[in-house]
Amino acid sequence: MENRRDFFKKVSLLTAGGLLAGQSTIVKAATSGVTNKNASKIIGLQIYSLFDELDKDIPGGLKEVGKMGYSTIELAGYGDGKIKGIEMAEFKKMANDAGLAITSTHVNPPVREYTKENKQQIADFWKKAADDHAKIGVKYLIQPGQPSTRSTEEVAYVGEIFTEAGRIAKAAGLEFGYHNHDGEFARVIPGGAESVSGRQGFGRRAPEGIEIIYDGLLKHTDPSLVFFEMDVYWTVMGQQDPVEYMKKYADRIKVLHIKDKAVLGQSGMMNFEMIFKQANTNGIKDYFVELERYTGGTQFEGVKGCADYLLKAKFVK
């Protein structure tokens, strides 16, 4: 019996190998061994995009995502050592069964204001989060929420805490990254009590000589320990050009959030061709589609619309 089982195991492995070699439409996600026969390109999804629609049937919902042509996911909903209340190993199995490799996760520390007093609390939090995600082989541990950054000094301190988080993540075998919204493109001054945002703080209207928070975070983090996941939509909303940032900080911006006002490509405000061209030049391999609350249909429909756009786009390799 043993031999017979081994024989069938070998045969199925050979068949899988043959299919991989013969059909370019089967994508093997680089970081895992997970294959998805429905994926012709490596496209990632931030599962936040599905909102509570995913919670109704998580294994079934993930299978839907796999069928749409996504092959990697970035987690959201970490808490108490679980994802959306499910044991991490179990969640990983559900994802892998759907042909999805978990490459990244979004996790926020429990405090927004970083002080000398809560420095240890933040470090302890990252230690647990890193260990929990390391167990299921996640590559990127990413903070998506902006801490309080009201002055140049506060930006520098946040950078210090990020670097420490990077050290903790690295010790667990992960890489620590930071994800932006538009607030990071507001500006700060030394000794400031509030960031200069809104009309006066963003883009060309901003007074010269004061620091863009995002630039400060780049400056005050250790490049060997902290990378940046640039959300291209929020960068545009912050009145900055994501392509310019990708050119200037090619070694720091390692992952992207591919996002539009709603379904990708529909608003006309995002130049995805230029973004993907620069991403290719920079050698960016990982990116995740993100969709906010969608009003044109269900979240699943919106997320499928995004996949369809990227699968069809010639500039997406």
Residues interacting with Mg ion, by CB under 5 A? Answer: 231, 257, 290
Q: Shortest approach of Mg ion to residue 5 CB, angstroms? A: 46
Whichever of 53 and 292 has its CB closer to Mg ion, that residue is: 292
Distances in whole angstroms, Cα of residue 241 to Cα of each of 58, 68, 178, 202, 310 = 36, 30, 18, 12, 21
Judge contact between 49 and 289, C-beta under 8 A: yes
Distance CA 290, CA 260 (A): 8
Q: Shortest approach of Mg ion to residue 179 CB, angstroms? A: 6
Q: Shortest approach of Mg ion to residue 22 CB, angstroms? A: 37
Whichever of 102 and 172 has its CB closer to Mg ion, that residue is: 102
Q: Shortest approach of Mg ion to residue 94 CB, angstroms? A: 23
Judge contact between 266 and 233, C-beta under 8 A: no
Distance CA 55, CA 3 (A): 42
Whichever of 154 and 231 has its CB closer to Mg ion, that residue is: 231
Whichever of 88 and 258 has its CB closer to Mg ion, that residue is: 258
Whichever of 103 and 151 has its CB closer to Mg ion, that residue is: 103
Q: Shortest approach of Mg ion to residue 200 CB, angstroms? A: 25
- Centre a 10 Å sphere on the Cβ of residue 131 and count the other Cβ atoms it contains: 15
